[in-house]
Amino acid sequence: MTISWYRPAAVTQQPRRVAVLSVHTSPLEQPGTGDAGGMNVYIAQTAQEMARRGVEVEVFTRATASDQPPVVELAPGVLVRHVPAGPFEPLSRSELPAQLCAFTNGVLRTEAFHEPGYYDLIHSHYWLSGQVGWLARNRWGVPLVHTAHTLAKVKNAALAEGDTPEPRTRVIGEQQVVDEADQLIVNTGVEADQLVELYGADPRAVRTVSPGVDLERFRPGSQDEARDRLGLSRDAVVLAFAGRIQPLKAPDVLLRAAAELVRTRPELRSRLVVLVAGGPSGSGLDQPESLKALAVSLGIDDLTRFLPPQAGDGLVTVYRAADVVAVPSHNESFGLVALEAQACGTPVVAASVGGLPVAVDHGVSGLLVGSHRAPEWAEALAEAALRRRGELADGAVRHARRFSWQRTTDALLGSYADARGAFRRAALEVAV
């Protein structure tokens, strides 16, 4: 499989300081619950890597508790600023648009305490942040680079059963950001096409930069030791899911497939374990209770173990303990879980949607499934976990090593340089 990477020219306009906007979730939050997920990892990892290159990064996020310090150092050269906007409590994404004015005011006030030109560039993440970035861009006279992470029109076209469609407010807001941003960063060529076809984005403004994986943390290790830590039998057949528990992520698909496996291969019942690590999120606030109820109704509650969201080494342990990690999402702009699991030497069975065909090399590092039906998933899981596990595990490690946050950051800084150069040329043209 060929991976299309954005290859920038030599970086001659590396910014001194970047303002990163992440209104609805903080890089300090634990991925796997609430609104925290792959975007948090992306922001934290690229910010730290930029700081190592001498670029200061300041991340603006909404304060959700009165005892949060105004500024937290995530790492040397990376600050997280908690901006008061609305009540000091978590708010749903549907409630956040009403707080964008207050959040924008906090961002602009912070910059006003510095000399003009303090920030060289704005990078907004998700459409809510893009709305703030659009206004700050015009006020500060610096380019706006935007990463959507997910798109409303794409999500609504692949809506999970029982899930809530994204509102028209978001569709309109996304369109405004696409129209105003100087550059749009996407994870895959598929996402680039979606921006152009569904939102009318200028193809010249779109850059494809694949996310990476922390290859120091996520690496192969002892499966036996990982299973001992989790209290799992060493000869178990372990199918794992890691991530936010919500309809979009479709953990129910794994449970239904596991039930199908037990039905068609009853000899597996004594060995099969379904491991679900994550917390409720978004329209899945009734989960994992409803997921537990589903396990009962399918007759596999005795085979299913629920773990809270796992951080750092805990997540590595889950990946290493598994024979296969399932990523059955109805939509994924990329799928960092798939990449992390493969880096640990665990094959992945994933839905063939969004960016997952890039994150998973079908037949080499894992398997892609073209539907969400239990029989197809059961067959793919059996093939990956029972028949081809060793072969796919080797391919998984090789595939994951093609991705790194260093490479992602190289491409981002090249993209920033292009955006700054184009912005400066446009300003000169207007002046003339």
Q: Which residues sit in the known binding site for UDP-N-acetyl-alpha-D-glucosamine?
A: 30-31, 38, 244, 249, 310, 332, 340
Q: Which amino acids are annotated as binding site for Mg(2+), given as ranges?
A: 319-320, 322, 346
Give the residue ranges of DSSP H helices in 53-188.
100-112, 126-140, 152-157, 168-180
Distance (Å) of CA 241 to CA 43, 44, 400: 23, 23, 18
**Which structure tokens are listed for 61?**
């996020």
Which three-class secondary structure state does DSSP give residue 168? helix
| Four-residue CA torsion sign, 336, 3, 221, 363 | positive
Q: Which amino acids are annotated as binding site for 1D-myo-inositol 3-phosphate, given as ranges?
A: 24, 35-40, 93, 126, 150, 170
Between CA 225 and CA 352 the distance in angstroms is 32
Cα within 13 Å of Cα(371), Cβ side: 8
Q: Are 327 and 349 in contact (CB under 8 A)?
A: yes
Place of tokens 């006030």: 109
Between CA 281 and CA 119 the distance in angstroms is 33
Which three-class secondary structure state does DSSP give residue 177? helix
Q: Which amino acids are annotated as binding site, given as ranges?
A: 24, 30-31, 35-40, 93, 126, 150, 170, 244, 249, 310, 319-320, 322, 332, 340, 346
- Asked if the peptide bond before residue 328 counts as cis, ω within 30 degrees of 0, the response is no
Q: Are 351 and 369 in contact (CB under 8 A)?
A: yes
Distance (Å) of CA 366 to CA 1, 84, 176, 216, 396: 13, 44, 38, 21, 7
Which residues are paired to 145 by β-bridges? 123, 183
Of 25, 14, 5, 10, which Cα lies nearest the Cα of 53?
A: 14
State the burial class of residue 212 (Cβ atoms within 10 Å of its Cβ: 0-12, 13-18, 19+).
buried
**Which structure tokens are listed for 317?**
């342990």
Of 65, 83, 69, 68, which Cα lies nearest the Cα of 22?
A: 83
> For residue 1, how far is the Cα from the chain centroid?
22
First vs last C-alpha separation in the chain: 47
Between CA 338 and CA 409 the distance in angstroms is 20
